[in-house]
């Protein structure tokens, strides 16, 4: 049902300024588009200078990157790209199940550069020695046995796993503390924490800087199948943050919903107009529904609202860039292919995802189903979540999806199910919207496919990136503590209507492509890196994927009653001119 909350959207003074290397079809690199001298632009990995035909005409030195068609400092190039690769991240500790002390919170950093990168991690004015809690994966699941990150930092083509915090008393049926001593081990961990459903308050985030660009992901709890209620997300560097958001996140089912806003600049004013009332807590005034409430944050601070209900569809505006995250402490989600005889869809998990700024939302997306877990190998019915960012949005699906919404209003939240891949579009870039995807619980009709764990995977929620934000290369990390790792890859045809090959380091050129919506624009394939045992030469850890065209990768890690997912990366640049403003009744 359309929300009664009133909003307005206004158009910025100018249209999208983002250039790319694939026309208007995405795959570029923010301001690194075709706006350099003599029509030069930049490769997706920021290492090469391209001419107006996409040919390499220069390569930047190892300590530099390409921005606007010229070589600049590597971190400067990454910041200009407005992508998920960067040198500065400010990361809040996610909320968690409120009767369990905060478990192990970890961040993965994948080195994207041909130089070793040093890592500095601080919180609340205190700097921590990353060489004492950062680990380098060695292909085994024994994190405590991995070598420590050296003083020289994360080597090129490698990954660092940084165990940030836990509560020493964190436990469910087994300990959910970190497998080795984290940076901070203290009662309450680093979360806004009261062990109740009212954990609303002001928190202090981790500040992470690197000497060269990295991709970053978080996971909580860290520990794979031995953990409890895991969820993960792709982190965005501060250079990709925005000042205008329509809030998103998973639907709270049996748990409570929560939201966070993180600042990176002192005296940042945050104005929120929620659809449902947000509670008060220490240092945080209540935010009534359908009204605008103003808060002020300093660098590294974040507001957390707990027991926030389903906070999707609210509006946030800020005086300086912020990051916004929505989550739930206990996600129990089924679909029409869930075996309901167990009384619940699975073991249930937590869920949290960063919200893209309004300007980064697309008007076209590809529904990209994860690999089926069913014994008969028939596709699962998958639940998708839409959030509108403009009134009068009309939606079209190819192929048609029964029961899917055909219109959206600003702030409206709708869920529907689909089997197989599809394309969803609005009428134009003036009507952007958000798409999220759930994995349902592990109890699937007909049981789990042969050779897998008895109950493979569990509830998870993940953002889907629009094709306009896809890239031509990715560096990403897969968690060695998960028994199954699967990649969902979708590629887009180039201007001549042909598809470029996509390669993954340990698999080579990918095959098995299937058409999406007739196959004129998109094709999809799903490949295993590991399913119980490694596939070919693949092991979990750092990986790369590349192409001469735009494509996207969704990473899925699954184990018994556990799963995580995140996009391997992408742009977060401005691709629409819409600004959403919350209005009081």
Q: What is the pLDDT of residue 225?
A: 62
Burial class (CB in 10 A: 0-12, 13-18, 19+), 416: middle
Q: What is the mean pLDDT of residues 172-195?
A: 87
Does the pLDDT value for residue 21 go beyond 80? no
Same domain, 68 and 195: no
Which tens digit of pLDDT belongs to each residue from 216-255? 999 999 986 667 888 999 999 999 999 999 999 999 888 8
Does the residue 273 lie in any domain?
yes
Per-residue confidence (pLDDT) for residue 554, from 0 to 100: 98
Number of separate domains in the chain? 2
Same domain, 207 and 299: yes
Residues 153 and 78 in one domain: no
Domain boundary among 305, 331, 357: 331
The percentage of residues in the chain with a pLDDT greater than 90, rounded to a whole number, is: 76
> Do residues 166 and 222 share a domain?
yes
Average pLDDT value over all residues in the chain: 90
Of 331, 350, 377, the position where a domain reaches its end is 331
Which parts of 298-432 are beta strand (E)? 301-306, 315-331, 349-354, 364-367, 381-388, 393-394, 396-398, 407-408, 413-419, 422-425
pLDDT of residue 52 exceeding 70: yes
Mean pLDDT within 89-107? 93
Report pLDDT for 144.
Answer: 93
**Average of pLDDT values for 147-165?**
95
What pLDDT score was predicted for residue 440?
A: 96
> Of the candidates 285, 314, 331, which is a domain's last residue?
331
Average of pLDDT values for 408-437? 98
In this structure, what token pair is assigned to residue 47? 């290492």
Q: Which of 5-14, 125-134, 140-149, 449-458 has the lowest mean pLDDT?
A: 5-14
Between CA 165 and CA 438 the distance in angstroms is 27
Per-residue CA distances from 150 to 104, 125, 396, 414, 481 (Å): 22, 23, 52, 48, 22
Mean pLDDT is lowest, of 3-12, 74-83, 161-170, for 3-12
User: Two tokens at 429?
Assistant: 């870039």
Gap between the Cα atoms of 87 and 19, Å rounded: 22
Per-residue exposure over 516-541, b if at least 16 CB sit within 10 Å of its own CB, e if not? bbeeebbbbebbbbbbeeebeebbbb
DSSP reduced 3-state for 226: helix
Are 58 and 180 within one domain?
no
- Please tell me the predicted confidence (pLDDT) of residue 10: 33
Strands 542-559 and 484-492: antiparallel
Q: Are residues 58 and 152 in the same domain?
A: no
Residue 570 has phi, psi (to 5 degrees) of: 165, 175
Q: Is residue 317 a part of any domain in this protein?
A: yes
Residue 500: pLDDT over 50? yes
Closest CA relative to residue 92, chosen from 178, 207, 187? 207
At 44 the pLDDT is 84
Q: Per-residue confidence at 12, pLDDT binned at 50, 70, 90?
A: very low
Residue 160, pLDDT > 60, answer yes
CA distance 264 to 159: 25
Question: Within this chain, do residues 304 and 188 fall inside the same structural domain, yes or no?
Answer: yes
d(CA 148, CA 137): 9
Q: How confident is the model at residue 194 (pLDDT cuts 50, 70, 90)?
A: low
Domain presence at residue 478 = no
Residue 453: inside a domain, yes or no?
Answer: no
Report the C-alpha gap between 573 and 3 in whole angstroms. Answer: 28
Can you tell me the distance from the alpha carbon of 440 to that of 423, in angstroms, rounded to the nearest whole number? 21
Confidence check: pLDDT of 13 > 60 = no
Within a domain: residue 368? no
Tell whether 192 and 280 lie within a shared domain. Answer: yes
DSSP 81: H
Q: Name the DSSP class of 33.
A: S
As a whole-number percent, the residues of the chain with pLDDT over 70 amount to 91
pLDDT value, residue 30: 37
Same domain, 166 and 65: no
**Residues 78 and 96 occupy one common structural domain:** no
Shared domain check, 78 and 93 = no
Q: State mean pLDDT over 499-504.
A: 98
Q: What average pLDDT does range 312-318 have in this prediction?
A: 97
The pTM for the full model equals 0.92
451 in a domain, yes or no? no
Yes or no: say if 498 and 467 are a contact pair by the CB < 8 Å rule: no
Separation between Cα atoms, residue 91 and residue 119, nearest integer Å: 14
Which structural domain range is residue 67 located in?
30-82
Same domain, 225 and 274: yes
Query: Does residue 240 fall inside a structural domain?
Result: yes
Decide if 205 is inside a domain. Answer: yes
Residue 548 to residue 471: CA distance in whole angstroms: 10
Decide if pLDDT at 8 tops 50.
no
């Amino acid at each position: 049902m359309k929300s009664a909350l009133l909003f307005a959207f206004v158009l910025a003074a100018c249209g999208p300024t983002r250039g790319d290397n694939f026309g208007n079809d995405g795959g570029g690199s923010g301001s690194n588009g075709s706006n350099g001298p003599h029509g030069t632009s930049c490769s997706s990995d920021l290492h090469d200078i391209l001419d107006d035909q996409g040919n390499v005409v220069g390569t930047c030195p190892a300590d530099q990157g390409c921005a606007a068609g010229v070589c600049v400092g590597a971190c400067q190039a990454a910041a200009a790209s407005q992508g998920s690769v960067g040198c500065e991240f400010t990361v809040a500790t996610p909320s968690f199940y409120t009767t369990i002390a905060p478990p192990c919170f970890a961040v993965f950093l994948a080195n994207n550069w041909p130089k070793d990168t040093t890592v500095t991690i601080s919180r609340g004015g205190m700097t921590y020695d990353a060489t004492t809690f950062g680990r380098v994966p060695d292909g085994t699941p024994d994190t405590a046995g991995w070598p420590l990150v050296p003083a020289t930092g994360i080597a090129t083509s490698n990954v660092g796993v940084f165990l940030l915090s836990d509560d020493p008393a964190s436990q469910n049926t087994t300990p959910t503390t970190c497998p080795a001593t984290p940076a901070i081990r203290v009662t309450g961990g680093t979360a806004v924490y009261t062990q109740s459903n009212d954990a609303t308050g002001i928190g202090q985030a981790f500040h992470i800087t690197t000497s060269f660009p990295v991709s970053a992901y978080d996971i909580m709890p860290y520990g794979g199948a031995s953990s409890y209620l895991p969820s993960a997300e792709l982190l965005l560097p501060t250079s990709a943050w925005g000042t205008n958001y329509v809030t998103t996140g998973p639907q709270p089912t049996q748990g409570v919903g929560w939201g966070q806003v993180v600042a990176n600049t002192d005296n940042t004013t945050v104005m929120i107009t929620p659809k449902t009332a947000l509670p008060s807590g220490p240092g945080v005034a209540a935010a009534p529904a359908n009204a605008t409430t103003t808060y002020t944050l300093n660098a590294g601070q974040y507001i957390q609202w707990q027991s926030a209900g389903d906070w999707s569809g609210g509006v946030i505006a800020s005086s300086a860039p912020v990051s916004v995250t929505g989550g739930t402490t206990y996600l129990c989600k089924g679909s029409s292919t869930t075996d309901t005889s167990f009384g619940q869809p699975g073991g249930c998990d937590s869920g949290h995802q960063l919200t893209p700024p309004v300007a980064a939302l697309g008007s076209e997306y590809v529904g990209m189903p994860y690999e089926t877990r069913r014994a008969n190998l028939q596709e699962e019915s998958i639940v998708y979540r839409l959030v509108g960012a403009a009134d009068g949005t009309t939606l079209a699906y190819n192929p048609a999806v029964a029961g899917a919404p055909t219109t959206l209003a600003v702030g409206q939240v709708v869920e529907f199910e689909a089997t197989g891949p599809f394309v969803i579009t609005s009428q134009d870039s003036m009507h952007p919207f958000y798409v999220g995807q759930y994995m349902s619980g592990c109890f699937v009709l007909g049981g789990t496919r042969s050779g897998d764990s008895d109950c493979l995977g569990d509830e998870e929620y993940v953002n889907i990136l629009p094709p306009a934000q896809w890239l031509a290369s990715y560096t990403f990390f897969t968690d060695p503590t998960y028994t199954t790792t699967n990649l969902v890859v979708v590629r887009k045809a180039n201007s001549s209507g042909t598809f470029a090959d996509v390669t993954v380091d340990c698999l080579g050129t990918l095959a098995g492509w299937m058409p999406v919506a007739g196959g004129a624009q998109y094709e999809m394939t799903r490949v295993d890196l590991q399913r119980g045992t490694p596939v070919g030469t693949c092991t979990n850890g750092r990986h790369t994927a590349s192409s001469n065209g735009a494509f996207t990768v969704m990473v899925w890690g699954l184990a018994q009653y556990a799963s995580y997912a995140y996009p391997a990366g992408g742009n977060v640049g401005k691709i629409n001119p819409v600004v959403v403003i919350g209005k009081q009744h």
